Structure 1
């Protein structure tokens, strides 16, 4: 035992270390390297972006979106470039408005035409009472002439039957009565 104590004293005094006490360092270095590689791989998986989208709260925020116009037409100006960040409400493209302006002008012209036709028809309606009154007065005049023509027709028919009047006068009275009746009916 004294020898063992002497060896320990020699080791403490700067002597040669014992082979049993000396352990190899490479397993510790290998474990540190493996642990460092593991940490780098885990951090890369967490922080490097991938094309796979996943979420734990069922909410996904898009970074791009498809757009579609409400009307068709030719594009006259583009307000953004590829991969620009676009806030909501920003004008992306400007459509050529000549076709829509032509359609608006056509609709305005049709409206003006229809308004003029309506005014003409309303004027016709306003004229109708005076036209009706004029027709009523013409009918009254024809009826008055028919009374005279009927009396003349009877008189000339009686005169022609007795021989006191001519057949020509009777025929003229019949013709005048038929003419007035046709004018009244037509």
Structure 2
């Protein structure tokens, strides 16, 4: 026969066994998590404060004008060099005609300077000949006075005749002085004109070069009435309309290069200790969810925290202070093939996970990044056309015919070559 205390003893034994099992499970779970953290989690840094970034290229006019055409709209894909906005080219064309006319006039004025050298040399020779003549007359007048002076005392020469000879001598001396001054003035005038033409030619004269520079400037202004895309990308934030009068530097639209985007992952300062350039990164975008993963690597760490570059930076030296953990932007590249398969947009949220097990890389970049964008090929064509126009105008106003096959003319219509090289300029012209 069992005692009444036996059931309660068995119950305590079972409870003790269950608690022991739970404690053992907790200990094992803690040990397992510790091992997992030490072997796996400690080798990764994670943040969900990350966003897609790209080059947002603003298209702004370089001169004031009225918009006459818009050739791209929001969401359109455009290529580098493609025309986006057209300004009224009338003012630029008139300015080009004026600059070309001014160059032609300047060439003729400089030709006159060179031609004056010969005329002034002839004038100097004429004045020197006149100087020699009056000097001869002075010598003759001095001889007359010298011969008559002893004869006056003897009465062989009258006093009136002697006074007349002295008067002629004084007049001859005045004529010599005038001739000397005339020679000096002619030589100074020649030197003054030669100072404007020495060691140069008509084509290389500073006045001609200044006028030629204005012609090139007018060519560029006419080219710039066509606003072209500097990069390949998609149009965004178009805020210009046809007929609008725009000023130089006013943002008209933006072109975003979505084929070259990156991620700015904002890590806490306590997470930066093991971050290095080149470490692999795995990312997920909220746009596609966990089924799509992106792979990249750390390209660089920001030079300062976000708060340091804020519009209103913190003033921690005033008033009460509460410590806030700062974040530093870390630039992460993306695999172009994965990006082409699953395009991203600027500003999308990203979750980034960096493998920090290899800390042999650098914390700061020391190699310059490649150049972004390049000068449009049309600009080189415009420079060539402007140079050809300048040469044709100079040749025409020097009395020489333009070279055979020259594209420019001399009446202000010298844009044919540039128009053939630049479709946008062809439409403007």
C-alpha spacing 1:131/1:116, structure 2 compared with 1 (3 Å)? same
> Quick one: which of 134, 145, 155 aligns to 1:153?
145
Corresponding residue of 1:96? 88
Corresponding residue of 1:18? none
> Quick one: which of 66, 74, 77 aligns to 1:86?
77
* Post-superposition offset of 1:97: 1.5
Corresponding residue of 1:143? 135
Corresponding residue of 1:180? 172
C-alpha spacing 1:85/1:124, structure 2 compared with 1 (3 Å)? same
C-alpha spacing 1:153/1:90, structure 2 compared with 1 (3 Å)? same
Q: 1: distance between equivalents of 2:68 and 2:158? A: 95
Runs (5+) with no aligned partner, structure 1:
1-52
Instruction: Give the structure with higher Rg (CA).
Output: 1
1:93-132 superposed matches below 5 A: 93-132=85-124
* Post-superposition offset of 1:61: 4.4
Q: Secondary structure at the match of 1:74?
A: strand
Q: What TM-score results when the alignment is normalised by the length of structure 1?
A: 0.58
Q: 2: distance between equivalents of 1:99 and 1:168? A: 81
Q: Does 1:60 align with 2:53?
A: yes
| Between structures 1 and 2, the one with greater helix share | 1
* Post-superposition offset of 1:136: 2.4
Q: What TM-score results when the alignment is normalised by the length of structure 2?
A: 0.27
* Post-superposition offset of 1:77: 2.0
Q: 2: distance between equivalents of 1:65 and 1:154? A: 96
Q: 1: distance between equivalents of 2:68 and 2:95? A: 18
* Post-superposition offset of 1:151: 1.1
Q: Secondary structure at the match of 1:184?
A: helix
Q: 1: distance between equivalents of 2:84 and 2:172? A: 80
Deviations 1:121-155 (A, max 9, x none): 11121234333332222222222211111111223
Q: Secondary structure at the match of 2:78?
A: coil
Q: 2: distance between equivalents of 1:161 and 1:75? A: 102
C-alpha spacing 1:161/1:78, structure 2 compared with 1 (3 Å)? farther
